[in-house]
Amino acid sequence: MHSPVHNGADNGAHHGQHVVKTQAGVTKDLVEKHEHGRGSFKMAILVGGYLLLLGIVGVVLKIVDGFSDPSKWGYHVGLVVFLMSTAGAAPMVAIAPRMAKAHWRRPISRIGEIYGAVGVLTLILFIPVLWVLPGLDDNRRSLWFFNDIQMPATMPHIMATLSLVSLVALGLALLWLSALPDLAILRDRSTGSRQKMFARLANGWSGTSQQWFFQKHRMGVVGAFYFMTLVITFFFISVDFSMTLVPGWIDALYPLTQAQNALQAAAATVLVTMYVLHRWGGYREYITLTQFWGLGKLLFALSLLWIWFWFSSFIIFWYGAKPAEQAVLELLTVGPYLPIMYIEFALVFLIPLWVLVWNPVRKSVLGPTLIAIGVLAGTALDRIRVYVASYSVPGIGDPAVVKHELHAIPDAILPALSDILIWVGGIGGAAFIFLLVSRVIPVINIWEQKELVLYQIHKKFHRTEVQVLGKPD
């Protein structure tokens, strides 16, 4: 595979001549960047920690207010699903291109993997939601019904919890497996307590052929299970924690729609993080135009896929036009949350379509980043629209309420102070955890950058110089 080499700071060129790094040079450079970092890092982690404290205050206020009124918890549930859709799905940006053996993803794979650790925060925030969701003994609509089998009243809670715990565990396992060679490098270059810490984390890694073989295949297996568990988790959460709460809402495509939206948000999450590291993190030489261009194309494709999923569900309810279906559309789309729907539609589909279709914008650093920020905002609005509306339906869990049709459309619910604190704290807490983990595990994958040196050469091609990349077997 050939790619032109552009002279400039982004690829280490000096005076018109491309500088080819050695493995030792890559190791020395990335270790120094990891150990020393930048002065802005401490400020960023302090801000993230402060926002996390505000989020804790919001959660405490919400718990003190009680669990009896589900409508007060819609924003909290929306945040949990938003974190699942961004940080929780971000490891897929590392898993999928790695399976395709794409070289461009090497500097950004670790970003997606580190976001897997944010799942711990998502899991903690999910715990209060279990007390809000009514059990099956309330005779409510649910996925878990069988004619002759008595299901446990907490079956929705059990299955959602097991799937989310599995997702978090797989995310941490993937991060650890990927980081093993880098942890061994840091172990050999550290002293004192840091050396002991890295020695425990490296788990005796010495770089034997057998260790590399097992690491490669275990990462493949864990990555495949992560993808399956991500889809399963969205299935349980979207069905039992939103769709079954709204009478008349029956959409077989909705769980997969939520998973697809998460992949789009995951690409946007990694893009924004890439820009921060490129602009302020000191990794401009590694995270270059190539990475923004490659992930920008993927974000463009996922934005086009968003409209297919949305329209496939919308047309069924609109064309069927049964009273129950019209009530669902009124609640979720064309009723009190219509302004949010308009903004969301523009941010996650229209703007990416009409902007990323232009090559000069897509092939840039700032263009895909700005679109990614809009996609994240649109995804947040989507989670607020869907889950706040679902939890605003009166009589959740009350067997006296008709379960097959929504007769009265509740008004839109504005966020309370605790809701604002929870959202600010949740997003700040995700950044805080990412920054903390990046102080232990390098944010750029050292061993994959060293491996890239083995696959690339630079040679003259007519009047320019091209980079020739080999493909791993």
Quote the CA–CA distance of 28 and 22 in Å, as a whole number.
10
Quote the CA–CA distance of 177 and 210 in Å, as a whole number.
14
279 token code pair: 């602009």
- The ranges assigned to domains in the chain are 40-443
pLDDT at 39 (0 to 100): 65
91 token code pair: 């490891």
What secondary structure, in 3-state letters, does the chain show? CEEECCCCHHHCCECCECCCCCHHHHHHHHHHHHHHCCHHHHHHHHHHHHHHHHHHHHHHHHHHHCCCCHHHHHHHHHHHHHHHHCCCCCHHHHHHHHHCCCCCCHHHHHHHHHHHHHHHHHHHHHHHHHHHCCCHHHCCCCCCCCCCCCCCCCHHHHHHHHHHHHHHHHHHHHHHHHHHHHHHHHHHCCCHHHHHHHHHHHCCCCCCHHHHHHHHHHHHHHHHHHHHHHHHHHHHHHHHCCHHHCCCCCCCCHHHHHHHHHHHHHHHHHHHHHHHHHHCCCCCCCCCHHHHHHHHHHHHHHHHHHHHHHHHHHHHHHHHCCHHHHHHHHHHHHCCCHHHHHHHHHHHHHHHHHHHCCHHHHCCCHHHHHHHHHHHHHHHHHHHHHHHHHHCCCCCCCCCCCCCCCCCCCCCCCCCHHHHHHHHHHHHHHHHHHHHHHCCCCCCCHHHHHHHHHHEEEEEECCEEEEEECCCC
Quote the CA–CA distance of 347 and 237 in Å, as a whole number.
24
| Low-confidence spans in the chain with pLDDT less than 70 | 1-20, 37-39, 138-139, 146-149, 397-403, 471-473
Nearby residues of 298 by Cβ (< 8 Å), 6 or more positions away: 267
Name the pTM for this structure.
0.92
pLDDT at 35 (0 to 100): 86
Measuring CA to CA, which residue among 358, 37, 26 is closest to residue 182? 26
Backbone angles phi, psi at 460, to 5 degrees: -70, 140
Backbone angles phi, psi at 464, to 5 degrees: -130, -175
pLDDT at 430 (0 to 100): 97
4, 464 Cβ separation under 8 angstroms: yes
Residue type, 13: A
208 token code pair: 């034997």
pLDDT at 147 (0 to 100): 56
- The C-alpha angle 438, 442, 448, rounded to 5 degrees, equals 140
pLDDT at 149 (0 to 100): 67
